[in-house]
Structure 1
Amino acid sequence: MSSSPHTDSFALLVDFDWQNQRDQQLNPDLLHQRDRRIGLSLSASLPPREQARAWLARLHPNSQELPGQQITQRFGWVTAAIALLGVMTGISTFAGLLAYDGSQRINVLLILLLVLMQLVFTLLSCTVAARGVPSAPWFSSGRLAGLLSLLLPGDKSSLSLFHHQHGLKPLYPWLVLRFSQFFACAFSASALLCLLLNVTVQDLAFGWSTTLQISATTLHGLVSTLALPWQAFFPSAVPDLALIEQSRYFRLAGSAQSGLDNPALLGQWWPFIAMCWLSYALLPRIVLAIWIERRWRRRLAGQLEQHPGFQPLFRRLHRAWVGTASEQQEGDTEAVAAVSHAAITMPKLKAAKVVHWADTAYGHPDLRQIVPTLDADDSYCAGGGHGLDQDEAVIEAFSHLPDDLPVVILVKAWEPPLAELQDFLLDLRNLNRHNSFYLLPINPGQKLEPAESKYLPQWQHFITRMDDAHLHLVKAADAD
């Protein structure tokens, strides 16, 4: 399924911000080493944006792990919901204004007041957009996600991912302004269609009435001024003085047609009303929406380069990692501590529970080849792009396992272990005190391969820090 360039840019920005937040939990040295290895394989001629995209692709060969496309799709649904809300509001508003039972005329001044309000709102939006949308400190990602969940109440889990995208905060006001234009355009267009439909199927009687001392001549001057944009090519949509004089009514006069020799004149207001709405409500909104959309796309195109994690990433990609003597000594100490947690060959298991951390090798046809003795009863996905609700559901499913039933956790070998995985394992251990946990790093991709030896030390160090006698680092039988 193809996507437009601006939706692709938004998805890339969401993915980058999501990965950047995960990387902040990592050891800076391990992070630099990981990204430097990726940087050596990237072409220096690639534009920075494409290098960032390639970096994400190396970290996540399965793009389904990343939240960008998912959030972009949900935003498309939110946009459609906002437009639908605008259509419903526009139809209901004009249906109320044009409700006619023959006892009273439809007051043209009330409709003109609504036209004026639409024009004022358009000018205010234009002013805000022209001066630059300020970043409101009180408008957080959580509040925006809460508002969006009102439109998609059945998809709160997906929108909750957006709650943590703090690097996108400069875009929040622009998102709200953009959504408001979709609503306003849908409102204005549906209101005009409602007017034309009512004129077609009903015999409407328009008029004007006010407590203010306004003469027909004064109103004629106002009407003529409003009609300047179309009076040259649509003169029939400009009410004359005679129509204005004859269509004035007073509530005490009784019938809507009282005092009229030709009641059909009352329907001649509709071309003027339609042109007023088109010229001062709908068309300005469409023009403003197009302008704001272009400004949104320009802002979106440059937001990735302005992200706080963008320049640090390129320093890690293109600068060699040099450890100090103290760091080397610390690394030697950790290596000695990791000897007791060296990777063992995957044992033969008659049955096991399997966790595909961050969807590692989930459903992969080669999984049986890399671990031929594995005969898992159930497979579960957790971590990565899955929300906390999914992790808690897996933990609940694993509660109080038989003591002789092991748990195998499949992880990406090249991705350093995060605190998220540590918390998950601790929660599992609290529910299953004596079960054996086997941590199996592999290299998922088009072809499933066992972990390379160079990736095992970081996992040995992770096992050491966990200090769990029943947690074992394992490797496939054919790993080197």
Structure 2
Amino acid sequence: MFCLALFSTTAIISGDQYGRVNLLYLLLLFVAWPLLSLLFTLVLAVSKSSANSISSLLALPIWPRAWKDALSQLKRDDLQPAWLFCQSQKMALIFSFGCITAFVFVLLFNDVTFIWRSTLLRAEHVFPVLQFISIPWLPLESAQPLMGLVEASRDSRLQLNDQLSSASSWWRYVLMAQIVYSLLPRLLLFFWGTKKLASAIASVARSKVNSERQLKHLYEQQQMQKPPQQFTKMQYVSTFAEPFVILNWTSLPEALQDKLSAVIGVPEHIYQLAGNCDLQLELQAQRDSRAKLLIVAAWEPPMGELQDFMAQCQGVLMPLDWNAEQFTALNELHLEEWRRFCQSQVHWQLQQPQGLI
């Protein structure tokens, strides 16, 4: 991104064979475009359809599997929006820094003259716009536009202008426009996005700690009950003989889906039901006549939404735990919680695959 900004800005700033650069083009590049991109960023941040757009983009087969698995982990922890916002601002900040670097580089090693050309506009039209743009750096008088300078910077093929030598002083104005409208807003948004991401990570960590405490408390209470409750026994299977489909209720990475298929067999279809999936997809999965294997994250407590879904069909419930791209053994507290939950699901059987870990 830095190299793209460096080369594109250098090509524009270099100007024609006489070193003349159209000031109006620079305003489009360094003022209009940054403001439009900021507006686009804010619209995406508050838009409900942005998540669907990002999911469609990530579904393209051009991304490495490791990236998609990492993004699935972020989505599972509800960190994907904050992470994507932070990364987008980082890329925009790098682009802005590349533009400023290219601008300073051209000023150092080239004699640039800033002019403006227009068939319809006159100096009386251009000056108020330039003056309005320069309001944020009003105390810096050397970077403020002057009516005389605007008139002297106009270039016309029909009229020779001997005052173009003074037009090189526009560089301060252009530099301040880049800093104020391109660099500083992205820098502020990047710091805000970083803080938001750190806060989201801390919130997820606290949520996991609280969940562990609640499970431990429930487990201790259960152990004190007399007589002990009989839970659903865990069955271990090596493979599925009949044709089956997987109902992926969690964001199981694709690499782990392949490992699971290598142990229990290849499913005929995988229904991705994680997150806010389409209701039509849930109905299609429930009505599928093939054997169903419902995959859930072992550390996530069973919710009422899952119970409502399971009440409309039958099959095998398989809680799994993993770290990065490796399956791990189930925590005993998590296992007891899923046993209690499956006890009330008469049409479902709790199972674990053999040889997965």
TM-score range, shorter chain: 0.5 to 0.7
Please name the residue that 2:216 is paired with: 317
- Report if the CA contact (8 A) 1:135-1:173 is conserved: no
Instruction: Write the distance in 1 (CA, Å) between the matches of 2:126 and 2:82.
Output: 40
Deviation readout 1:184-232 (Å, 9 max, x if unpaired): 1111111011111101110112111223x32202212222222223232
Please name the residue that 1:259 is paired with: 160
Superposed counterparts of 1:221-300, under 5 Å: 221-232=128-139, 234-250=140-156, 252-253=157-158, 259-300=160-201
Please name the residue that 1:209 is paired with: 117
- 1:125 to 2:33 alignment: no
Q: Kindly provide the amino acid, as one letter, of the partner of residue 249 in structure 1.
A: D
Please name the residue that 2:127 is paired with: 220
Number of equivalences: 252
Instruction: Write the distance in 2 (CA, Å) between the matches of 1:137 and 1:311.
Output: 30
Q: Kindly provide the amino acid, as one letter, of the partner of residue 214 in structure 1.
A: L
Give % identity: 21
Please name the residue that 1:327 is paired with: 230
State the TM-score, normalized to the length of structure 2. 0.57
SS at match of 1:106: strand
1:158: Cα distance to partner? 3.4
Instruction: Write the distance in 1 (CA, Å) between the matches of 2:100 and 2:133.
Output: 17
Please name the residue that 1:111 is paired with: 26
Across the aligned residues of Structure 1 and Structure 2, the Cα RMSD in angstroms comes to: 4.3
Deviation readout 1:412-467 (Å, 9 max, x if unpaired): xxxxxx8999xxxxxxxxxxxxxxxxxxx9xxxxxxxxxxxxxxxxxxxxxxx97x
Q: Looking at CA atoms only, which structure, 1 or 2, has the larger radius of gyration?
A: 1
Deviation readout 1:94-121 (Å, 9 max, x if unpaired): 1121132325731111111221220232
Is the alpha carbon distance of 1:390 and 1:183 closer, same or farther for their aligned partners in structure 2, counting shifts above 3 Å? same
SS at match of 2:162: coil
Please name the residue that 1:42 is paired with: none
Deviation readout 1:275-318 (Å, 9 max, x if unpaired): 111111111111121122212222222134456xx766434322
Q: Kindly provide the amino acid, as one letter, of the partner of residue 178 in structure 1.
A: C
State the TM-score, normalized to the length of structure 1. 0.44
Deviation readout 1:19-74 (Å, 9 max, x if unpaired): xxxxxxxxxxxxxxxxxxxxxxxxxxxxxxxxxxxxxxxxxxxxxxxxxxxxxxxx
- Report if the CA contact (8 A) 2:100-2:178 is conserved: yes
Instruction: Write the distance in 1 (CA, Å) between the matches of 2:167 and 2:145.
Output: 11
Superposed counterparts of 1:7-18, under 5 Å: none
Is the alpha carbon distance of 1:173 and 1:389 closer, same or farther for their aligned partners in structure 2, counting shifts above 3 Å? closer
Q: Kindly provide the amino acid, as one letter, of the partner of residue 300 in structure 1.
A: I
- Report if the CA contact (8 A) 1:90-1:191 is conserved: yes
Is the alpha carbon distance of 1:259 and 1:166 closer, same or farther for their aligned partners in structure 2, counting shifts above 3 Å? closer
- 1:302 to 2:203 alignment: yes
1:138: Cα distance to partner? 5.7
Instruction: Write the distance in 1 (CA, Å) between the matches of 2:118 and 2:184.
Output: 29
Instruction: Write the distance in 2 (CA, Å) between the matches of 1:302 and 1:120.
Output: 33
SS at match of 1:122: helix
Instruction: Write the distance in 1 (CA, Å) between the matches of 2:51 and 2:68.
Output: 21
- In structure 1, runs of 5+ residues without a counterpart are 1-84, 151-155, 335-384, 396-417, 422-440, 442-464, 472-480
Q: Kindly provide the amino acid, as one letter, of the partner of residue 155 in structure 2.
A: Y
Please name the residue that 2:100 is paired with: 192
SS at match of 2:51: coil
- Report if the CA contact (8 A) 2:19-2:111 is conserved: no
Instruction: Write the distance in 1 (CA, Å) between the matches of 2:117 and 2:75.
Output: 54
Instruction: Write the distance in 2 (CA, Å) between the matches of 1:386 and 1:264.
Output: 63
SS at match of 2:99: helix
- Aligned to 1:158, which of 53, 66, 74? 66
Deviation readout 1:363-392 (Å, 9 max, x if unpaired): xxxxxxxxxxxxxxxxxxxxxx99459969
- Report if the CA contact (8 A) 1:237-1:271 is conserved: yes
Task: Kindly indicate which of the two structures has a greater share of residues assigned to strand.
Answer: 2
Deviation readout 1:312-357 (Å, 9 max, x if unpaired): 64343222345977838x87xx9xxxxxxxxxxxxxxxxxxxxxxx
- Report if the CA contact (8 A) 1:95-1:194 is conserved: yes
Please name the residue that 2:9 is paired with: 94
SS at match of 1:170: coil
1:91: Cα distance to partner? 1.1
Q: Kindly provide the amino acid, as one letter, of the partner of residue 36 in structure 2.
A: V
